[in-house]
Structure 1
Amino acid sequence: MASYNGPAMIVSRGGEIEVTVDLRSRTDPDGSETWAGHIDHGDRSELTLVVKSMSQYGLMIRLPDGHEGHVLLSAETAWSAGSITVSGFLRG
């Protein structure tokens, strides 16, 4: 996956919510796939609740094609209009 923009699911201890993601990936020299991008959700309060229930491993994102991965909030997350900036890794 070089890029993906579309629907996804965030899975956390606080439940699951449908979101829209804009992700860009790359393969590191060790073969692992890392990525970064934005998560958007229309209800900022619902997104906030899920983020507050985040585990020590971050949030899990599940894409429609079955890819899953963990993400952590990036330092540049501004919480504007229910959008967060994330980075993480994907599993097949």
Structure 2
Amino acid sequence: MIRLIAIPSMLLAELASGNVAAQVSATPETFTGTHRNESINGRPETATITDGKFFIQLTEEQYRAGGYRPAYETLSTRIVRRLPVRKDTKE
């Protein structure tokens, strides 16, 4: 999770400095899928890809269009359920 925040932060810092020379792109040759995430609250399903150092989240359509391996259907699904917060009723 920290990497997902750190990468955009580093990119913003580079953009602000004006020293941006290369564009980062995820190619099917270097990135592979690790898992997919269940859609929540009407958001699209996503898949996470990695090159061993960086993790990138893509929508299902982007993953399929990019030709990443393994096939989207074979990725394991990560399901996250959040429990509602209970108020402490002690007085």
After TM superposition, the score normalised by the length of structure 1 is 0.27
Q: Which has more helix, going by share of residues?
A: 2
After TM superposition, the score normalised by the length of structure 2 is 0.27
Rg comparison, structure with higher value: 2
Q: Which has more strand, going by share of residues?
A: 1
